[in-house]
Amino acid sequence: MIIVTGGAGFIGSNFILKFLEASDENLLNIDNLSYAANLSNLEAIESDSRYSFAKIDIQNHSKVEALIKKVKPRAILNFAAESHVDRSIEGPETFINTNILGTYSLLKASLDYWNDLSKKEKEIFRFFHISTDEVFGSLNLNDKKSTEESSYKPNSPYSASKAASDHLVRAWHHTFKLPTLVSNCTNNYGPHQHEEKLIPQIITKAIKNENLPIYGDGKNIRDWLYVEDHCEAIMKILEKGKPGETYNIGGNCEKSNLEVVNEICEILDSKNPKKDGSLYKKQIKFVNDRPGHDFRYSLDISKIEYNLNWKPKESFSSGLAKTVKWYLERS
């Protein structure tokens, strides 16, 4: 049995589908079903006897603790998080509560559970915290990629809350010896993503013939990781990762926001041409930049490549084509 928190969200739901496809193990999904959650992402496994769901907020320590002790998991994977930077600027409190206090609640319950396990069960157990590249802060164009040893320099309320949660996990390992794992990933994309994120937002607005908003001059750079590749990396870390270690997960695919939007427009021009023959990129509109907008994120993934023999499989062009196709089929 493993527990996944935030399993109705984008990455969490993709992980659950991937895990149940590859494993015979039981899985419990804990999610409070906030605005970005969507249980329809998991329709394919709703009737699977190995899968169960509990609507619980991870900040509810007593309920979380009772559930953990009841199902006796060999691992807890924490995907639960508020993750949209714009929303963190408009209202940081939810991010502090979910990302910091929620992680603390999980750690406390996990440690209490772990302390009561047998020696063998203690050796098997893992607390796996899924985090972001944004904790390392902004890079300049010629800066080296962030490694697992890079200093934390979060700049938004979102990244600051995730950095704090990462530090809590580290502290629970160092101080209490809880066998923890942490991964930091780059920008994920793929089917089932909430429309507030760049790629699904651009696809859906383009189809509706609305303006395609791009912050500033569109030159901000992100590394893009197809969500299924991310899930495979998480599974690899869960089974082979060393307790107390952190692993960077990236797509080795840096692109400016404008490049991403142009590629989406080109796919739509081919797969969903407009009746009047006009190009989708004519809908692009540059808007005022986000406050404190980080210029570039990029992760060095050599550690997971060499130590765990993982590397991304999906190219950006093929992954983006799959993603556009998925949203087109549902438009």
Task: Look at residue 307 and tell me whether its pLDDT is greater than 90.
Answer: yes
The 3-state DSSP class for residue 308 equals helix
Q: How far is CA 166 from CA 13, 132, 134, 294, in A?
A: 22, 9, 12, 20
- Average pLDDT along the chain: 96
Residues near 83 by Cβ (< 8 Å), separated by ≥ 6?
A: 9, 36, 132, 158
| Alpha carbon distance 228, 17 (integer Å) | 10
* 39 exposure class (CB count in 10 Å sphere: 0-12, 13-18, 19+): middle
Task: Look at residue 174 and tell me whether its pLDDT is greater than 80.
Answer: yes
**Amino acid, res. 309:** N
Largest CA distance in the chain: 69
> Does the residue 326 lie in any domain?
no
Task: Look at residue 260 and tell me whether its pLDDT is greater than 90.
Answer: yes
Tokens of 150: 């890079």
306-317: average pLDDT: 98
Task: Write down the pLDDT at residue 36.
Answer: 86
> Does the residue 324 lie in any domain?
no
> Does the residue 144 lie in any domain?
yes
Residues marked as catalytic = 133-134, 158
Considering just the CA atoms, what is the radius of gyration of the chain in Å?
A: 20
The 3-state DSSP class for residue 218 equals coil
The answer to whether the CB of 190 falls within 8 A of the CB of 18 is: no
Task: Write down the pLDDT at residue 179.
Answer: 98
Could you tell me the pLDDT band of residue 303, with boundaries at 50, 70 and 90? very high
Model-wide pTM > 0.85: yes
The answer to whether the CB of 151 falls within 8 A of the CB of 167 is: no
| Alpha carbon distance 243, 173 (integer Å) | 8
Task: Write down the pLDDT at residue 219.
Answer: 97
pLDDT in tens, 125-148: 999 999 999 999 999 999 999 999
186-213: average pLDDT: 96
CATH number of the domain at 307, please. Answer: 3.40.50.720
Domain residue limits at 119: 2-189+225-252+297-313
The answer to whether the CB of 16 falls within 8 A of the CB of 26 is: no
Task: Look at residue 84 and tell me whether its pLDDT is greater than 90.
Answer: no
> Does the residue 146 lie in any domain?
yes
Task: Write down the pLDDT at residue 294.
Answer: 94
Could you tell me the pLDDT band of residue 50, with boundaries at 50, 70 and 90? very high
| Cβ atoms within 10 Å, residue 238 | 18
Q: How far is CA 65 from CA 27, 68, 117, 166, 176, in A?
A: 16, 5, 14, 21, 17
Task: Write down the pLDDT at residue 118.
Answer: 98
> Does the residue 78 lie in any domain?
yes
Task: Write down the pLDDT at residue 331.
Answer: 82
Residues near 30 by Cβ (< 8 Å), separated by ≥ 6?
A: 3, 4, 5, 6, 7, 53, 54, 56, 58, 64, 67, 80
Which among 109, 132, 180, 179 has a CA at the least distance from the CA of 11? 132
> Does the residue 66 lie in any domain?
yes
Q: How far is CA 267 from CA 16, 169, 176, 261, 295, in A?
A: 29, 41, 51, 10, 26
Task: Write down the pLDDT at residue 83.
Answer: 76
Q: How far is CA 163 from CA 129, 166, 187, 275, in A?
A: 11, 5, 16, 48
> Does the residue 272 lie in any domain?
no
Q: How far is CA 206 from CA 51, 191, 221, 328, in A?
A: 36, 17, 21, 10
Q: Chain-centre distance of CA 23, in angstroms?
A: 21
- How many domains does the structure of the chain reveal? 1
> Does the residue 273 lie in any domain?
no
| Alpha carbon distance 276, 327 (integer Å) | 22
Could you tell me the pLDDT band of residue 251, with boundaries at 50, 70 and 90? very high
The answer to whether the CB of 322 falls within 8 A of the CB of 329 is: no
